[in-house]
């Protein structure tokens, strides 16, 4: 057996084993009972907030909680925009980086425009404020250390903490708490007790494995030919730690996790791939503990895990196979666009995990994947429920849970119930609105750019593959993932503004609408389960939920998928086989003659 097949197994078994105790710990420290709030380690929360001018926690309903969440994110947006615009004059800039906007952009013909373009700053801030990290720039070339730490890395801490805070408020509403908590306390607890300690541990492990951690400027290296060349470096270990743990994914370097300074050894690779999915998995176990229904949480976890495993092995199979165009030519696995030290199995595994979790970091060029291999990360982002981002993955799946409970209730002829509270028209309308925003953003953006020169002149490939490049970019933006096929000349004003708007609309409605549903459910009277209540902790519910997710996904995206990856795959299957045989033929043989004739 090829030893590389071990990779997908430990890439899932290790985080599952660690996520169970981590989920229990998170439930304990993030949702302390009233008598423990402000005592023990939780005193750190009160001290931190007291220093910021806040005293005791406030009782917030969903409107107050959502308002605090939006105000905080608006503040982040403004401050981050100003910092990137003023990068030249801010500290920690040993290499003299100018404003991010001053690096210009390429138009559809490839001509470089050197005039200032604040659209790239708009896109970058939208990306990192929404926990997406879609990058239309190269970090080591365009950002100072201050921007990397004080803007990008800071946002990589607080934006997943925001997602986790909203998830905590939604869970409290589902269990019947009219007080959804205090956003500011939840935010600080998430930072102090989850992301900071985990990031510290992971950063130490990465630094020990060879990932740079320095504030010195670029190193001046001399090649064998005597040519001097700067080698970018910086506080990479701390950056990579939170980029993976917070389902952020933005690279310190342009090549992201393919770069040897971000991922130099097998050990660093192990640490990073576990970090990508650890916290999203742990949040599901945290949910089960907070609602005191571990069986229901286990069903959600297994549905997510099943979809991830299916996607992972489809991607691996696609990347190990050879299409007709290279049959008889390629020997061994196809390595175009892949790091030789990783190979196709590890590359396909990472691609599935990073898109299932809306992490977006990459260590293979997805544009070089086989059509059905590239379809997997695209499909996982289209569904957007498979663990996904910290907090937001659960919220997206919750909308499908409500839809499933509603459909099942109609089938048995009684009012749907979830966790002891009736699901009525208001909750269903909000859930369906949340589910429809995602496909609407993807297909609208894709249609606009594919039908005009905004997108058609930006793709690197014609036909279905070029369409797939456009489709993937909007899917990634709407799912707040950040990965890309990278066949696009996407650092243009049109792409920066278009995807920036999609980034914002893909993030905030999907956070506020579940919060509103939780607030409405918290006001309803608890109804004990009866013989007619649909159990949500069994195989039947899990299978029904998976079916609803896949059916809605197919109805929403099948036409676009057929025009893109499926058409690309079928066109390659129809391509003539390569005339070059796998083994060299003797001169004058039938095999050699047929090759010449062809």
Beta bridge partners of 221: 229
Report the run of H or E that residue 418 belongs to, with start and end: strand 417-418
CA pair distance 80, 84, nearest whole angstrom: 6
User: Distances from the Cα of 503 to the Cαs of 43, 123, 462, in angstroms?
Assistant: 36, 8, 26
pLDDT of residue 501: 95
Is the distance from CB of 155 to CB of 76 less than 8 angstroms? yes
Is the distance from CB of 483 to CB of 504 less than 8 angstroms? no
Q: Indicate the burial class of 502 (C-beta count within 10 angstroms; 0-12, 13-18, 19 or more).
A: buried
pTM for the model:
0.89
Which backbone phi and psi does 221 adopt, to 5 degrees? -105, 150
CA pair distance 561, 297, nearest whole angstrom: 31
Question: Nearest Cα to 243, choosing from 284, 283, 267, 273?
Answer: 273
CA pair distance 310, 13, nearest whole angstrom: 15
DSSP code per residue over 158-199: HHHHHHHHHHHHHHHHHTT-S----HHHHHHHHIIIIIHHHH
CA pair distance 211, 63, nearest whole angstrom: 44
Joined together, the tokens standing for residue 90 give 């801010």
Backbone dihedral region for residue 360 (phi beyond 0: left; psi -120 to 50: alpha; all else: beta): left
CA pair distance 385, 431, nearest whole angstrom: 14
CA pair distance 439, 418, nearest whole angstrom: 25
Q: Parse the chain into domains and list their residue ranges.
A: 8-219+230-326+335-573
CA pair distance 542, 303, nearest whole angstrom: 6
Is the distance from CB of 257 to CB of 361 less than 8 angstroms? yes
CA pair distance 502, 267, nearest whole angstrom: 36
Report the run of H or E that residue 422 belongs to, with start and end: strand 421-422
pLDDT of residue 559: 93
**Tens of pLDDT along 206-221?**
999 999 898 787 777 7
pLDDT of residue 485: 84
CA pair distance 598, 583, nearest whole angstrom: 17
Joined together, the tokens standing for residue 191 give 């930072």
pLDDT of residue 502: 95
Q: Hey, is 105 helix, strand or coil? A: strand
Go through the chain and tell me how many residues it has. 598
Segments of the chain scoring below 50 in pLDDT = 1, 105, 107-108, 115-116, 578-598
Question: Nearest Cα to 449, choosing from 493, 482, 507?
Answer: 493
Instruction: Write down the residue that tokens 């896949």 correspond to.
Output: 550
Joined together, the tokens standing for residue 323 give 């299409």
pLDDT of residue 149: 86
What does the DSSP 8-state code read for residue 94? T
Report the run of H or E that residue 443 belongs to, with start and end: helix 425-450
Instruction: Spell 281-316 as b/e; 16+ CB within 10 A means b.
Output: bbbbbbbbbbbebbebbebbbebbbebbebbbebbb
CA pair distance 202, 246, nearest whole angstrom: 12
Is the distance from CB of 304 to CB of 12 less than 8 angstroms? no
């Amino acid at each position: 057996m090829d030893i590389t097949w071990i990779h997908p197994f430990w890439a899932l078994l290790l985080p599952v084993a660690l996520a169970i105790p981590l989920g229990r710990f998170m439930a304990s420290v993030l949702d302390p009972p009233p008598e423990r709030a402000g005592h023990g380690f939780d005193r750190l929360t009160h001290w931190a907030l007291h220093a910021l001018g806040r005293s005791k926690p406030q009782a917030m309903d969903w409107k107050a909680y959502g308002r605090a969440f939006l105000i905080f994110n608006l503040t982040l947006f403004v401050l981050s925009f100003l910092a990137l615009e003023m990068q030249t004059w801010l500290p920690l800039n040993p290499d003299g980086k100018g404003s991010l906007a001053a690096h210009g952009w390429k138009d559809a013909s490839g001509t470089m425009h050197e005039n200032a373009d604040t659209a790239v700053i708009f896109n970058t801030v939208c990306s990192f404020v929404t926990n997406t990290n879609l990058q239309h720039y190269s970090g080591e070339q365009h950002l100072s250390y201050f921007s990397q730490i004080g803007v990008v890395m800071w946002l990589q801490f607080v934006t997943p903490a925001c997602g986790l805070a909203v998830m905590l408020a939604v869970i409290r509403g589902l269990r019947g708490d009219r007080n959804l908590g205090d956003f500011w306390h939840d935010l600080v607890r998430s930072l102090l007790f989850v992301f900071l300690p985990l990031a510290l541990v992971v950063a130490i492990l990465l630094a020990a494995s060879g990932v740079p951690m320095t504030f010195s400027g670029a190193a001046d290296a001399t090649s064998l030919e005597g040519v001097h060349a700067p080698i970018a470096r910086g506080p990479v270990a701390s950056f990579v730690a939170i980029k993976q743990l917070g389902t952020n994914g933005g690279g310190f370097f342009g090549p992201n996790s393919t770069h040897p300074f971000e991922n130099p050894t097998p050990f660093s690779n192990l640490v990073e791939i576990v970090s990508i999915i650890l916290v999203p998995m742990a949040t599901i176990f945290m949910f089960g503990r907070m609602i005191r229904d571990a069986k229901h949480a286990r069903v959600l976890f297994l549905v997510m895990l099943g979809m991830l495993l299916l996607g992972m092995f489809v991607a691996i199979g696609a990347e190990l196979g050879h299409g007709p165009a290279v049959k008889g030519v390629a020997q061994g696995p196809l390595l175009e666009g892949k790091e030789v030290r990783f190979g196709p199995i590890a590359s396909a595994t990472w691609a599935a995990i990073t898109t299932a979790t809306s992490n977006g970091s990459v260590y293979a060029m997805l544009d070089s994947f086989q059509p059905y291999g590239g379809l997997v990360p695209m499909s996982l982002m289209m569904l957007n429920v498979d663990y996904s981002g910290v907090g937001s993955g659960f919220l997206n799946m919750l909308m499908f849970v409500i839809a499933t409970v509603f459909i099942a209730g109609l089938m048995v002829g009684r009012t749907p119930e979830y966790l002891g509270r009736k699901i009525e028209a208001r909750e269903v309308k909000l859930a369906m609105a949340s589910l429809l925003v995602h496909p609407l953003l993807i297909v609208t953006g894709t249609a606009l750019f594919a039908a005009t020169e905004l997108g058609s002149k930006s793709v690197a490939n014609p036909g279905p593959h070029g369409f797939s490049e456009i489709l993937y970019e909007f899917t990634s933006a709407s799912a707040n993932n950040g990965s890309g096929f990278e066949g696009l000349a996407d650092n243009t004003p049109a792409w920066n503004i278009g995807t920036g708007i999609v980034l914002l609309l893909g993030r905030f409605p999907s956070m506020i609408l579940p919060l509103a549903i939780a607030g409405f459910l918290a006001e309803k009277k608890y109804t004990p389960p009866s013989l007619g209540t649909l159990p949500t902790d069994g195989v039947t519910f899990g299978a029904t939920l998976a079916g609803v997710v896949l059916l809605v996904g197919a109805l929403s995206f099948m036409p676009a998928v057929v025009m893109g990856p499926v058409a690309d795959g079928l066109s390659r299957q129809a391509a003539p086989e390569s005339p070059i045989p796998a083994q060299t033929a003797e001169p004058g043989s039938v095999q050699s003659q047929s090759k010449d004739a062809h």
